Amino acid sequence: MRARSLVVAVAVLGVATLAGVSSAPGAPADAAPAAFQAPRKGYVVYWDQNEEEDYYASASNTQGQLFPAWDANGQMCILNDGTGRWVVGYDPTLPSQHNPGGPPFKPYKQPPIGEELVGPTGAWTGTNLFVRGPYRMSAKDPGEDSPAVQGTYNGQSTYTGCAVDAHHDVFADDIGTAQGSFPIPTDGRLVEWFAPSYTQSCIVDGPDQGGVDGDHHVDGTDGLSQPGMMDVLPNGDLLLPQAGSPTGGLPGQVTRFDHTSLPTRASQCPGGVYPRSQLRTSTFFQGSGSFVPVPSGVATDPTCHCYAISSIFGDPSVVWVDSQGQPIASRPSLPGEPLATFGHDPAGYNPFGMAFAPDGTLYFVDIHIACKGAGLGNCGPQNAHGQVMRVTFGPGEQPSAPAVLATGFDFPTSATICVEGTAAHCPFPTHATPRPRPATAGGASG
């Protein structure tokens, strides 16, 4: 994937005919989990960075690589079918970035943009979830609905957040062209792939005018405004943060998708697009210019059955809200970076994706934005300074200062937690792996 920039007034990051599944001939089979120090208690924290998926096992206090570098970029979601399989967004890394996750070290997956399905031990299954369309790298490759722009295959589409519902369907949001753009474009989309085969998909919400590829409206307007890291409510409703407003400005909001209005089969999506008249949404949380201006991630806090919402800039940076999206006065928020010092404080942090351990410990990804020169016009994730942070809570729910769990990364985006004993498998490698790979000079992912 090309290196991303951020025009600050927007968070970094960022659906159509029948989608398909591609299976590579001779794709690696995923073996059953072996006994290699696989945790039997505690929980495992996962995060993406530098095209790979890494882990921290709480029971052994160890870190390693679950999925070696190969185009992984975005929120990791574990299927709830008991198999331990999981999905994550993927997109191309350009050869000029010299990243082990891209050419010439690894070939482009086909098609170049989608959600890849990975087995419980971190081996790619050979299956990709994508939206079918006329654009392909070569005549023999499967086609998708996002065209290349000047040879770059992730300029019009990048899957970032994900969720899995009670039917085992996979949802992913596509930031469209929102890769540091301001005003924030409204070409984001929410896509659903239907279990168990994930060979068919539906654009649940997205642009309904302009753009390319007919009714898919890739790079169109009147869709989502830079969607972020998703979560699922206990009743099945989806929570989806949007960094921008419906008109493309600021502030953003967290949108609630009524699960009873979501499609359950591909036949409900003529041409691969769900009729907007069938979809019911509401505003779960509304940001303001001075309070969570760019909602970027949302996560369930199991200790209070409430929810945390992150904003990559502004003070506070993480707030807690109740089941109606209202701030909870008894839960102190995390401080952030005020606009006056944003991007110029080396000790600052910029929360993106988040996840909670069963005891309420919060883990969040700091994409660590830095600004060059005065003002906010030339800002972006600082190479080799991305971090995974941990926050514990004392009496009165007072949060500790965020402590660094792992650091030295380019553009980490999300955190996911699996609790041992609550699922058939928490994804884990079968053998000893290197520690999370730090960024290297001259190579940037994102």
Nearest to 390 by CA among 374, 405, 368: 405
With a CB cutoff of 8 Å and minimum separation 6, the contacts of 30 are 85, 118, 119, 120, 121, 123, 125
Q: Which sign, positive or negative, has the C-alpha torsion 397, 401, 407, 409?
A: positive
* DSSP states along 55-108: EEETTTTEEEEEE-SSSB-S--EE-SSSS--EEEEE-PPPGGG--TTSTTTSPP
Does pTM surpass 0.85? Answer: yes
Prior bond to 111 cis, omega within 30? yes
State the DSSP H helix or E strand holding residue 231, giving kind and residue range, or none if neither.
strand 231-232
- The one-letter amino acid code at 443 reads G
Phi, psi of 286 (to 5 degrees): -115, 120
Looking up tokens 């089969």 gives 265
- Tell me the β-bridge partners of 388: 365, 406
Contact 122, 66 (CB under 8 A): yes
Contact 424, 80 (CB under 8 A): no
Contact 279, 205 (CB under 8 A): yes
Going residue by residue through the chain, which has 446 residues, state the pLDDT in tens, using 9 for 90 and above: 333 333 333 333 332 223 344 444 333 334 333 335 678 889 999 999 999 999 999 999 999 999 999 999 999 999 999 999 999 999 988 888 888 898 889 999 999 999 999 999 999 999 999 999 999 988 999 999 999 887 778 788 999 999 999 999 999 999 999 977 778 999 999 999 999 999 999 999 999 999 998 899 999 999 999 999 999 999 999 999 999 998 888 899 999 999 999 999 999 999 999 999 999 999 999 999 999 999 999 999 999 989 999 999 899 999 999 999 999 998 999 999 887 778 878 888 999 999 999 999 999 999 998 888 766 667 888 889 999 999 999 988 899 999 999 999 998 999 999 998 876 689 999 988 999 998 865 444 44
C-alpha radius of gyration, the chain, whole number: 20
* Domain layout of the chain by residue ranges: 19-42+87-117+124-354+377-411
Give the strands of the sheet with 43-49, arranged side by side.
62-67, 52-57, 43-49, 415-419
CATH code of the region 19-42+87-117+124-354+377-411: 2.120.10
